[in-house]
Structure 1
Amino acid sequence: MNVRWTLAMLALAVPVAMVACSAENEAENQSSETDPGTSLLTTTTRPSPTAREIYDLVAPSVAFLETDVSTGSAVLTDDGWVVTNAHVVWPRDSVRLVFADGEEHEDVPVQRIDDYLDLALLGPIESERRGIPLLESIDVATADEVYLIGYPAESEDFPTPSITRGLVARLRRWEATGFDFIQSDTAIAGGQSGGALVAADGTVIGISGLTFSDAGFALSLPIDAVTEAVADLVIGASPQPFADSINIAPQVREAEIRLSHTWDEEAFVFEGADEPTSLTLAGGSEPFLTVLDTFGEMIYPAADEEPEITADGRVFTFDTGGFGPVYAYVTDFSVDATIVVTSDQAFSHVIDNDDARLLRIGSTTEGSFGIPGDYDWFAIELNAGEAITVDVDSLSDVELLIDTAENESIPLAEDFDSGGGLFDTNPEVEFTADQAGVYVIVIYEAFAEAPAGYVLTVE
């Protein structure tokens, strides 16, 4: 327990009053003080702190977070670490933090991310300010009054944190984790992700970051889940902005890749260039290129863009406008294609550790969409007539399909959102093999967003 935090809470909760006491009352008070079975806390009604008092207590520990492509909120913990949402900082490896009094921290490292819970661990930072204690349990119920403190839609260099008030609409259980997300009607907007959800007594009970339904309900990860995740992230923490499932190779200008089936793909990271980038694909049957920006928006191809066919291969030209990183995906509709990739700009090959894993019936696999547009694929061997059910659980909107390695048309089975989950968007497919062989299970994020973790189960 953080002693300074406890004393601060007591100072807010107990009003100072001067009262006249008779000798009889003084005697009664002395008797109560010497009786170990009597507590002042059980005999005195303490009014809840006001919204202003809660703001004054918590807001100094909530930071404005900024990268070159995004802004958000972050919470300083009582041991110097800083917690925010993974989607706020990704894919940067450092951020700028500013607190309400103007205290500024540049180049704060992104140590680790948990893309399954959408959490990021930053720091640690050196500061004299009080941090938020990470509690192992909380007491929260429907209709409790709550406050959300953060930095929505801020554009100033040194902004002031905002506070909104609402009610706990319900606790929404995510069965895969056993945690109850706190759904509230506190107003949430872009930039408030990573902010502090505060109970009426001033206790920080969650980290905001998600919205539920078009009604705009805020979903906050409960602080006990944050505590557990941070404990895991702190162990062996080292700067690593990408998910563990992704490795980024050193920069080169030429690479050879092998695509084993029609759903296979290889990705490359390009930093933003002021001039158009040229990329040549040699080999395969008809290799193709797709380029996405950090937000999953397509840069190439546009409606009328086609590669130039040359003696060296198919030449693709795309323009990042100086913005980066961007993610180039190479695909081919042939089986077992070897392709040589060359470019006039340096690039890094993305090694996806999730791809090509062999699954078995009864297995559960954790993975991650580590970059925008990432497709993860798995292989499973089935006998003729053998039936399986494949389910994917994620905070993101995941799509799922099952196919053969050689199929170039409509998948044998696919699903988008019939499997339930926290947002009722998990995919689930029931599939029966019509012949013995190896089948491919492919999953991807519907809006090409990253990072996003998932759990895949085959039964």
Structure 2
Amino acid sequence: MRIALAKMLVALAVVLCAACGGKDLSDADVLEKVVPSMAELQFRTWDLGSGFLVEGGYVVTAAHVVWPLTEVDVVFSDGTEHPNVPVVSYDQLADLAFLGPIETSAPWVGFAYTEGQLEGDSVLNLGYARGDPSITRGKLEQSGNWSEADVKWVSSTAAGIGGMSGGPMTNRNGEVTGLHIRGDESRSLGISSDTVKDRLDRIARGKDVSVLGSRTLVSTEEAKHEHEFVLQGRWDTAVYWGRASLPTIEFDANWDVEYGLFAFDGDPYFRPAFRSTKESVDDACCTSRTWFAVVKQSFDIERHGVIKSSAPLARYEDPDDGRQLQIGDTIMGAIDAPADFDTYTIHLSRAQGIALQVKSFEQITVTIDSSEAAPFEVVSERHRWSEITYRPPRDGKYTIALQQSDETFHGPAGYTLSVSLRPTITRLDSPANTLDSPVGDLLRHKFDHHVPTFQIDYPANITGGNREVIAAELFEQDRWGRTVTLEKRDLSQHRKQPDEELSVVDYMERSVLSGSFPYKAEKTVTAHREIVTPSGAPVLIEDFEVDDGGMKGVRLAYIHEGETGFMAIFYAPGEVFDEWRPVVDYCIGTFSVGDFSVADGMTDE
């Protein structure tokens, strides 16, 4: 069937490209020349992508096509199958992988002499697009040398279709000039055949193909069904992996720890885990491929937990984490698991600006952070081949964290990171319009479009997280879990009957904000008081806690003229909230209706 389909495509290409002129081979001629050397790579029943046979019996492909497998099946166009071919080496910087060697009657490809390539020269991409031999044609746009990684690359206007990753890029004569690693409907990116030949030479000499070494998933402990873990802060993760199974995860950890299940190709099943969460994934995710379970948190607090799985899990330790950087350094690494961070530390002075140069074939999110940073002082930008400038707000130790998106993972992303001085960078500004107070700088929130004016103050040093929450007029949260959330609500949304008169207690209990935040669990009220306003309507203030004090908070509610509800909630992990309490009490006192404030009411008591 596959042979007949390949012949049909060749015949179709002859018809479509009969008018191709010049000295270029037709698409049909290139297919006829190259397809016998092309291989479709499979794992069990799953089509992974493309590869091609080179001298020495090795099959070359893109690393992201086969990562993190150690064996794959190789199928040539004539139907010849080679099961369980070992992956002998990965180069995550160049996105290359090498399989074999195998004994086969299939011909190996010929490499082109690339020194004479010019912009505008013909480039053809070949591969198994959606399981069938396919070809696209375009022009050479650009070539370059990633010197730090010793990688030469090429880009062209030839389309890159799904499944063609790992396939050959050829010139007009059907000679291989590169290996396709990325693409869309209008362009593609590949690794030059010069780099492929260099890596093959290294393999022949028994050398590592990459300066990173040939990484695989190495376990620091044996695969088992239950693991204890400790997260030291917001940039710490616990990464586990399993193979070809349908896992059910039981997860038990303290408040606001998150976990995600990821299929081999990065489809995420990611959500917050409140105390104990069960999540399963279906056959399309994990029965035929490697999968990851990643545990992380949002706060700089030590958290302990246990992860249990119906399928064995192995712990993965990232070799890039925890390295110390200095000005002038260039380091190399790879993000090799979904939702994982590569973290580095560096000591910086507020008197010196720096520049970070990031190079990668994947988009990388780079974050600069420190344990003392307010959210507005944390810089996070997404880059592929560019520079970030930064001026530290204070002297101290900073974290530089690199990650791919939480929502997608296309395989390992190699990168280089260089740090240099940039003295002219302007320092970050504090939020505008801060107010001095006995408890530090505050910001004032005025609830929109209301007479009399309703307002409340909140700490300036927790702002800047840029997080939006449904039902909240304002939501701010810092690295320690200190959170302020404010609401203004038309009470018709909370009435069970159109003519029901809601008390402030009813509003407190029925509010989406109060019910969903800060914890989807029953709250214990530990203190309760009412402050009577000049209109006679009370301001209700409650202290509450969850999980035996694991999380504590104060919430305030007020109803104006029976129609509009106002709410403020301040909360944090228990040990953090106890220290934060004087600030919270002061801010609660600033809630005001016109000229009357809660602090005034407390004074009158």
TM-score range, shorter chain: 0.7 to 0.9
Greater mean alpha carbon deviation, residues 89-98 or residues 437-446: 89-98
> Partner residue of 2:416?
455
1:389 aligns with 2:389: no
Which of 315, 320, 325 in structure 1 is aligned with 2:281?
320
Aligned-pair CA distance for 1:209: 2.5
Greater mean alpha carbon deviation, residues 218-227 or residues 390-399: 218-227
> Partner residue of 2:108?
131
> Partner residue of 2:193?
223
1:202 aligns with 2:179: no
Q: List gaps (5 residues or longer) in structure 2.
A: 1-21, 421-605
1:150 aligns with 2:130: no
> Deviations along 1:101-158, whole A, 9 cap, x unmatched?
222111111122112111110111101332124567443222323433322111xxxx
Aligned-pair CA distance for 1:384: 3.7
Which of 357, 375, 397 in structure 2 is aligned with 1:409?
375
Give the 3 Å change call, closer, same or farther, for CA 200–60 of structure 1 in structure 2.
same
User: Structure 2 matches for 1:180-259, cutoff 5 A?
Assistant: 181-211=153-183, 216-233=186-203, 236=206, 244=215, 247-249=218-220, 250-259=222-231
Which of 396, 410, 415 in structure 2 is aligned with 1:437?
396
Amino acid aligned to 1:426: W
> Partner residue of 1:56?
32
Do the aligned partners of 1:62 and 1:76 also contact (CA within 8 Å) in 2?
yes
Do the aligned partners of 2:166 and 2:180 also contact (CA within 8 Å) in 1?
yes
Q: Distance in 2 between matches of 1:365 and 1:298?
A: 29
Which of 300, 311, 325 in structure 1 is aligned with 2:270?
300
Which of 310, 313, 317 in structure 2 is aligned with 1:347?
313
> Deviations along 1:162-187, whole A, 9 cap, x unmatched?
334x3424223254457653333334
TM-score, structure 1 as length reference:
0.75
Give the 3 Å change call, closer, same or farther, for CA 289–397 of structure 1 in structure 2.
same
> How high is the sequence identity, in percent, across the aligned residues?
26
User: Structure 2 matches for 1:27-106, cutoff 5 A?
Assistant: 51-67=27-43, 68-106=45-83
Amino acid aligned to 1:219: L
Give the 3 Å change call, closer, same or farther, for CA 251–175 of structure 1 in structure 2.
closer
Query: Secondary structure of 1:124's partner?
Result: coil
Do the aligned partners of 1:285 and 1:332 also contact (CA within 8 Å) in 2?
no
Give the 3 Å change call, closer, same or farther, for CA 204–138 of structure 1 in structure 2.
farther
Give the 3 Å change call, closer, same or farther, for CA 69–207 of structure 1 in structure 2.
same
Which of 322, 338, 344 in structure 2 is aligned with 1:378?
344
Q: Distance in 2 between matches of 1:233 and 1:406?
A: 47
> Partner residue of 2:476?
none
Q: Distance in 1 between matches of 2:24 and 2:246?
A: 57
> Partner residue of 2:529?
none
Q: Distance in 2 between matches of 1:335 and 1:188?
A: 42
> Partner residue of 2:325?
359
> Partner residue of 2:141?
170
Greater mean alpha carbon deviation, residues 142-151 or residues 105-114: 142-151
> Partner residue of 1:426?
385
Amino acid aligned to 1:220: G
Do the aligned partners of 2:322 and 2:343 also contact (CA within 8 Å) in 1?
yes
Do the aligned partners of 1:78 and 1:134 also contact (CA within 8 Å) in 2?
no
Do the aligned partners of 1:121 and 1:233 also contact (CA within 8 Å) in 2?
no
> Deviations along 1:340-375, whole A, 9 cap, x unmatched?
424143311110111111111111110111112221
Query: Secondary structure of 2:32's partner?
Result: helix
Query: Secondary structure of 2:294's partner?
Result: strand
Do the aligned partners of 1:268 and 1:349 also contact (CA within 8 Å) in 2?
yes
Give the 3 Å change call, closer, same or farther, for CA 230–184 of structure 1 in structure 2.
same
Q: CA RMSD in A?
A: 3.1
Q: Distance in 1 between matches of 2:247 and 2:190?
A: 42
1:109 aligns with 2:79: no
Give the 3 Å change call, closer, same or farther, for CA 329–411 of structure 1 in structure 2.
farther
Amino acid aligned to 1:123: G
Greater mean alpha carbon deviation, residues 223-232 or residues 100-109: 223-232
Aligned-pair CA distance for 1:408: 7.0
Number of aligned residue pairs: 387
Query: Secondary structure of 1:151's partner?
Result: strand
Aligned-pair CA distance for 1:416: 1.9
> Deviations along 1:39-71, whole A, 9 cap, x unmatched?
xxxxxxx97755544433322111122224443
Do the aligned partners of 1:75 and 1:132 also contact (CA within 8 Å) in 2?
yes
Do the aligned partners of 1:280 and 1:316 also contact (CA within 8 Å) in 2?
yes
- Determine which structure has greater relative contact order: mean sequence separation of CA pairs < 8 Å that are 6+ residues apart, divided by chain length: 1
Do the aligned partners of 1:261 and 1:334 also contact (CA within 8 Å) in 2?
yes
Amino acid aligned to 2:359: D
Amino acid aligned to 1:432: R
1:263 aligns with 2:235: yes
> Partner residue of 2:473?
none
Give the 3 Å change call, closer, same or farther, for CA 334–51 of structure 1 in structure 2.
closer
Aligned-pair CA distance for 1:387: 2.2
Q: Distance in 1 between matches of 2:260 and 2:377?
A: 21
Query: Secondary structure of 2:49's partner?
Result: strand
Query: Secondary structure of 1:352's partner?
Result: coil
Do the aligned partners of 2:40 and 2:47 also contact (CA within 8 Å) in 1?
no
Aligned-pair CA distance for 1:398: 0.6
Q: List gaps (5 residues or longer) in structure 1.
A: 1-45, 308-313, 418-424
Which of 323, 332, 338 in structure 1 is aligned with 2:297?
332
Do the aligned partners of 1:392 and 1:454 also contact (CA within 8 Å) in 2?
yes
Aligned-pair CA distance for 1:193: 1.5
Q: Distance in 1 between matches of 2:364 and 2:262?
A: 18
Give the 3 Å change call, closer, same or farther, for CA 273–71 of structure 1 in structure 2.
closer
Query: Secondary structure of 1:109's partner?
Result: strand
Q: Distance in 1 between matches of 2:26 and 2:246?
A: 53
Query: Secondary structure of 1:394's partner?
Result: strand
